[in-house]
Structure 1
Amino acid sequence: MPRKRRPAPSKASRLSDLFADVGPLASRKSGYAYRPQQLGFARAVEKTLNGRGVLLADAPTGTGKSAAYLAPAILEVASSGGRIVVSTATLALQAQLLSEDIPQMRAAAAELEGYPEEEGVSYAVLKGRSNFLCVRRHQDTLRAGTILDPDLISNLDLWAVETETGDREDLPFRVPVGPWVEVASDGEDCSPRLCTFRDGCFYYAHRDRAGEADLIVVNHSLLLANAVSGGAIFDTEGAHLIVDEAHRLEEIMAETFGARVSYGRVRYAMRQAKKRCESATAAADRAEMAADLFFGDLGSGASVLHESPPRSYGTLVDALVSVQSTLASDPREEVNALQGMVGRLRRDLVSFYSKPDEDYAYAVVLGRSRRGGGRSYPELKSWLVETAEVFRENVLPLFESGGVVLTSATLATGSGPGRSFSYVRRRLGLDDSSVSDRVDEFGGEEVFDYEGRCLVYVEEEIAAPTLGLPDLFAASCARRAEELVKLSRGRALVLLSTNRAIAAFRERFRPPYPVRYQGDDSPGRLIRWLKETEGAILVGTRTFWEGVDIPGSSVSLVVIDRVPFAPPDDPVAAKLREKAGERAFREVFLPKAQVAVRQGAGRLMRRASDRGVVALLDPRVATKGWGKAVLGSLPPAVRTGSLAEVARFFVEEPGEDG
């Protein structure tokens, strides 16, 4: 529900007052320091919200971007009404916004504007429905016989009675994904008008609370799902949109607007049909048997997408049609609702063996193992590769009466004054004449003293990576990384481009410091271990190229093995190459690699007092035509190819108070 208007203050300098050294934010934020870059970004956001425009904002690490966009957003809603939707890519940023940034800014804005804090802007997180227990589905699962083990059933039964939220995050015990989806809320198996549990529904209670808030925090997947539904999940009337971590939006759009057909999805849909409609049992059993054959043959190489499907494809499609028809003809309306689930499954399956949509990439990919450790079936997967029209035509119109801000520490390509937003403009359709005149750009200045506190090492001697000898390059990287971490006395994050490189490092990387690898524990626990263990070294792949925020000396060296171009067999890359031809490298693959390198290098300096070395071990940047563009994405620091220079840098390292 949009907030009612409050009389606007007469002062035109309220952002300056809010961010002042002795202002209301400074008194609430530990270690606060005034940053002109932060105020400049806040003013750009204010202009966009007031003018109902679109802002592309590249705010380098240290800007304090969340406070910079929250300040004008909260002041705008408090004085003029409306609503704010903030979308993030990661749970870590959501948690930071909800526990720190929003409460502090809400209180600071109330003090500035002269009203009680409790009358300030209200806020809430809005999660997808699969995060919540569905009481009806929980009971249906128990009545129908269950795939859940007895101990898990007992724990869920007790929790279902005691919980006030039904939120999976609040579970005091672990529930694997497979069992959870059997009892979680599912929009394709939901008839709220007919449900006897509607008044006590955990999901709708959560959604209703968020619907009353002035500011809601969502993730990119939910933002896009709302666009697909035409705004049916949450109201966007009169709302402004702020997309943080916006460099991830294209990737998540590709997944959200694509399709995935797996053995598990067929089994799940058929279980729901049999639970709700006994007369669908025979057809559902046929579909499960056909799926067993279909997915068993999918990886044999005997079938070709869009041409020749595996055996039993026709039987599977016919069985799904029969199940859908049975559900549709059932006299109970709540059973009829399930036909949508089965119909979408059938349409997605058929899309892989009918005329392909040129805006999509299709592939057979490795699947997840069956329950109980049985054989692993491959899956069918498609991705949206042309995201421009979808964002421009599906997402932007939901916020046509508000401003839209897209921001990240790495939204632009390159670094410094030469940064370019041309890639994100193209991929999100913002270069189209229908919207381009509404789009402004903000390239924030660097906050940190990279020249004085950072050194960039670029490898010059080891052999370049090749498709034919990837293990040789990985072995050379392991040796060079070992030399580098000895100079930094551990305290390193090693970022690799492939799982194969991880395997090579496990075999060859032997530094005299504690080492852990991606997969040894959960990402969160590994990051905590790196932060708390003296001299620790963490080796990982793309999971750790972004989102790792460890200020201080625990990460004094970041090693990047190679420029992370998409592999030749990547289905999305192959489709983009097919569509764009020779332009694909310059227009798509190089900009994506530049952003990834900026993200990886950005793990080093997280606070102004940090100091360290970024090492890029890919010698191609010195010889290839694209090398200059990649080097321009590294921090604007002194650059060297000498290990002796790296050694001197660490020898000159000041104490902790320096």
Structure 2
Amino acid sequence: MGLRSGPLSCIGRNYITDSTLEKFYSPSGPLSRMPGYEFRPQQLELALAVQEFLRDPLERTFAAEAPPGVGKTFALLVPALREAAGERRILFLTAGIALQEQLIGKDLPRLKGLLGRDFSFGLLKGRSHYACLRKGAALLSSGAPDLSPSLFAEADGALSDVPGWLAETETGDLSELNAGGDHPVLARLTAGGRGCIGTSCPYRSRCFVIRAYRSAQDWDVVVANYHLFFSHILEGGGAFPVRYDWLICDEAHRMPDVARSASAIRAGADGLASILSPRVLQGFDALLRAHSVEPSEVREEAGRCRLALRALFDAVRLRMPRDGGLSSCDPDLLRLGRVLTDGLDRELHALRGIEDRFMAGDFANPSALAEGAELMNWIDEVRSFKKSLLWCLEVGRFPGWAYWGDGESLTSMPVAAAEIVRDVLEKEDPEKIVLSSATLTLSGDFSFWSGESGITPDRTLAVPSPFDFARQMEIWVVDVGLPVGGEGYDDTMCRVMKKLCNENGGRTLVLLSSLRLLRAFARRMREGEGGYAVLVQGELPQRELLARFREDETSVLIGSVSFREGVDVPGEGLTQVIVDRIPFPHPGDPLVRARNELEEGKGFVRVTLPNARMFLRQAVGRLIRSSSDHGRVVLLDGRAVERRDWRVLESLPSCRCTRLSLREGNGSLFREP
């Protein structure tokens, strides 16, 4: 499908002119009706390239880098919608919620009017975002014995009347309940995770998930995220649930990470403990007795399994290396794991007769069929845990896979994603694939991203930024005089960052590499009055934090790596971005160690450093979002200048760069000669 063919560079290419498309993006064209629109030649260049690619019958994949401010979303969608003309369905994938909400709430509705065309679109979510009617009925009929009534009564919105909401909602989307994502009621209502009994479900004709996926079959543009895309294909072993012809992937630099995450294998102690809980097993009592299986014996064996589970994870806490990573099998842990899996085998053996009768079709009564299907689901969950646990304990695929654990779970994840991404795209086999991001190249070269993603595009394009960085921004590289994480490091960093925020009058995005430093800096910022609001990741949903940051022009937003993307605050509300250090992962991270082993000791140069340079570009890209923006980026890591061989500054916009050091005693900064 063109994933392995050689690339055709489009840099400096002369495109076939299209007066209609050029007029659309012109200073007086339809787009000019949008507030704040600025004509940008780079946007038109990208749109023309997309159009030409879609018209070329020989090319299947196109990768384009478009820096912040180009307007790549409209550059991708306008030619795609024009060329599709209702004859082809588009699947538009993103990594972040912010872009999905912008597409559904603003961009696609706007394009309907601007293009003068009617087309349908919608956001497809994963199963966990919808309510399960069967679970809802069971939760309400039981009176939720393990849930406090106040959890319902004290909540705002529909959560205070779950029965009424379930009866009236047309979508079953749990976001309508206005509850926090970790609310216990949502965990009991969700259609995600274990519990789906498929065709045996008495509520199947009204299933919200089926209804949503069925509706999506009629949309012209389906918006979804990478996690749903990869997890559905990799976990289910089938195709994506909605048919589509063209695939547009924005934020395509995130594809390898999401593909690895979707491929991860995890054995969680809490998960099995929940499966084996007396409350769950009691629900099968009548079914077991009807098939001459003594429920008390099943529960007793489950109790022994829970003890074995506890013994295993107690040992994991004691024996796991300090960094949590494993490079070879620990015989003692494997022995304890087999004690547990042997107990689970005995549990499954006791239920074998019921399973055989169910598979033979002996459950004709609808009620019995639903109960039997639920037990079959439980059996599948136990078998899946067994398989995952042994995979994680045997450590059989290191260094191709990383293995780590703590007292709560054991996890294994592939360290490279190229083969995974390539196989998924070849299996899906769309007619056309467009991949775009603000960061796909290093010094204009797509090779690193191509190697990590497994995609060798037929055509590539890297458009320059529309901004005059030499005029609009400057970079400060500050040497704080301490090694990262060394004694006194956090305190020094907090003093310097607070001083920088105060001198700038707030208006700052602070991006920190560790949650420890994030919490310490948040405490320091709230000591005394700074004259501006301090917004901290984790204290509010990300969407609300960003909304408040945009509304309050003098505020300071403190976040971690997840805020390197999706922060778009043009104007005076953001004139300073502070980054604590070059975004290297911890060298003891199990994934980093395994990748270094896989790369024969050259993982830092081949993978870690290129990734860090791209991550830093993403962070710096938060500052300048329009031609009138201005400000500075402060990188509190002197290595960016000292280690010229790392070429860190070369990957950042070309502008004035000043090196500063921390003056001992008063904590002020001074410029180095």
| TM-score bin, normalised by smaller chain | 0.7 to 0.9
Query: Aligned residue for 2:567?
Result: 548
Q: Distance in 1 between matches of 2:151 and 2:42?
A: 52
Contact 1:250 1:428 in 2 (8 A): yes
1:30 aligned partner: 35
Match of 1:318 among 314, 336, 342: 342
Cα distance change on mapping 1:36 and 1:309 into 2, 3 Å: farther
Give the counterpart letter for 2:42 in structure 1.
Q
1:5-48 CA-to-partner distances (Å, cap 9, x unmatched) read xxxxxx95432232233333333x22223211111111222233
Give the Å deviation of 1:499.
2.1
Give the corresponding residue for 2:657. Answer: 639
**Helix, strand or coil: the match of 2:648?**
helix
Provide the residue aligned with 1:502 in structure 2.
518
- 1: CA distance, partners of 2:161 / 2:273: 25
1:58 maps to which residue?
A: 65
Rounded to whole Å, the distance in 2 between the matches of 1:82 and 1:339 is 42
1:469-520 per-residue CA deviation (whole Å, 9 max, x = no partner) reads 2x43333333333443343222112222212322443565668443444344
**Do the aligned partners of 1:456 and 1:635 also contact (CA within 8 Å) in 2?**
no
Does residue 584 (structure 1) correspond to residue 611 (structure 2)? The answer is no
The corresponding residue for 1:386 is: 416
3-state secondary structure, aligned to 1:353: helix
Asked whether the 8 Å contact 1:49–1:402 carries over to 2, the reply is: no
Q: Which amino acid in the other structure matches residue 147 of structure 1?
A: D
Deviation string, structure 1 residues 501-550 (Cα, Å, up to 9, x no partner): 22443565668443444344443333334333353223332232222221
What amino acid is the match of 1:637?
Answer: C
Are the aligned partners of 1:513 and 1:537 in contact in 2 as well (CA < 8 Å)?
no
The CA deviation at 1:266 is 1.0
Higher RCO structure, 1 or 2 (CA under 8 Å, sep 6+): 2
Q: For the structure 1 residues 146 and 132, does the alpha-carbon distance in structure 2 shift closer, same or farther, using more than 3 Å as the test?
A: farther
CA distance in 2, matches of 1:464, 1:632: 24
CA RMSD of aligned residues (A): 2.9
Assess if the C-alpha contact under 8 Å between 2:441 and 2:449 holds in 1: yes
Which of 297, 322, 330 is the matching residue for 1:307? 330
Match of 1:455 among 463, 474, 498: 474
Using the alignment, how far apart are the partners of 2:549 and 2:124 within structure 1? 32
Deviates more, 1:518-527 or 1:616-625: 518-527
**TM-score, scaled relative to structure 1:** 0.84
Counterpart in the other structure of 1:125: 123
Q: In 2 relative to 1, CA 536–519 (structure 1 residues): closer, same or farther, beyond 3 Å?
A: same
8 Å Cα contact 2:93-2:225 kept in structure 1: yes
Match for 2:51 among 19, 41, 46? 46
| 1:514-529 correspondence runs (5 A) | 514=532, 515-529=534-548
Q: CA distance change for structure 1 residues 513 and 581 in 2, over 3 Å: closer, same or farther?
A: farther
Q: Which amino acid aligns with 1:150?
A: P
Residue in structure 2 matched with residue 439 of structure 1 by the alignment? 458
Q: How far 1:254 moved relative to its partner?
A: 1.7
Query: What is residue 412 of structure 1 aligned with on the other side?
Result: 441
Q: Give CA deviations for 1:163-215 in whole Å, capped at 9, x if unaligned.
A: 22111111144573544233221475334322221111111111110121121
The structure 2 residue matched to 1:403, chosen from 412, 415, 432, is 432
What residue number does 1:650 align with? Answer: none
- C-alpha displacement at 1:401, in angstroms? 4.0
1:550–1:309 CA distance, 2 compared to 1 (3 A): farther
Q: Structure 1's 395 and 313: CA in aligned 2 closer, same or farther, altered over 3 A?
A: same
Per-residue CA shift, 1:68-104, capped at 9, x if unaligned?
A: 111121112216x221111111111100000111122
- Find the counterpart in structure 2 of residue 328 from structure 1: 355
> What corresponds to 2:138 in structure 1?
140
The number of residue pairs the alignment matches comes to: 599
- Mapped partners of 2:223, 2:655: distance in 1: 36
1-side partners of 2:43 and 2:238: how far apart? 32
Task: Give distance in 2, aligned partners of 1:579 and 1:484.
Answer: 41
Contact 2:216 2:242 (8 Å CA) reproduced: no
Matched with 1:90 is: 96
Amino acid at match of 2:420: V
SS of residue paired to 1:260: strand
Question: SS at the partner of 1:56?
Answer: strand
Q: Which residue of structure 2 aligns with residue 362 of structure 1? A: 403
Residues 216/261 of structure 1: CA separation in 2 closer, same or farther (3 Å cut):
same
1:142 to 1:403, Cα distance in 2 relative to 1, 3 A:
same
Matched, 1:472 2:472: no
Deviates more, 1:178-187 or 1:63-72: 178-187
Kindly provide the CA deviation profile for residues 206-229 of structure 1, in whole angstroms up to 9, marking residues without a partner as x.
Answer: 111012112100111111023213
* Of 24, 27, 47, the match for 1:21: 27
Q: 2:309 aligns with which of 275, 288, 291?
A: 291
Q: CA deviation at 1:262?
A: 1.4
Q: 2 CA distance for matches of 1:592 and 1:295?
A: 34
Q: Report how far residue 590 of structure 1 moved.
A: 0.8
Rounded to whole Å, the distance in 2 between the matches of 1:179 and 1:316 is 31
1:228-277 deviations in Å (ceiling 9; x for gaps):
1344441345x111111112222211211002221221133335963663
Give yes or no for the alignment of 1:342 onto 2:390: no
Q: Which moved more, 1:161-170 or 1:40-49?
A: 40-49
Change (3 A) 1:642 1:225: closer
Matched to 2:341, the amino acid is V
Moved more, 485-494 or 549-558: 485-494
Summarize deviations over 1:271-295 as a string: whole Å, max 9, x none. Answer: 5963663337524444334323333
How far 1:581 sits from its partner (Å)? Answer: 2.8
Q: Which amino acid aligns with 1:42?
A: A
User: Separation in 1 of the partners of 2:573 and 2:567?
Assistant: 12
Shift of 1:151: 4.1
Q: 1:262 aligns with which of 260, 265, 268?
A: 268
Shift in alpha-carbon separation, 1:49–1:485, aligned structure 2, 3 A: same
Q: Pick the aligned partner of 2:106 from 100, 115, 119.
A: 100
1:235–1:532 distance in 2 versus 1, CA, 3 Å: closer
Give the partner amino acid of 2:501: V
Give 1:70's match in structure 2, choosing from 66, 77, 80. 77
Q: Where does structure 2 lack aligned partners over 5 or more consecutive residues?
A: 1-16, 153-159, 289-294, 359-368, 663-667, 669-673
The worse-fitting range, judged by mean Cα deviation, of 271-280 and 18-27 is 271-280
Between the aligned partners of 1:175 and 1:250, the Cα distance in structure 2 is 26
SS in 2 for 1:124: strand
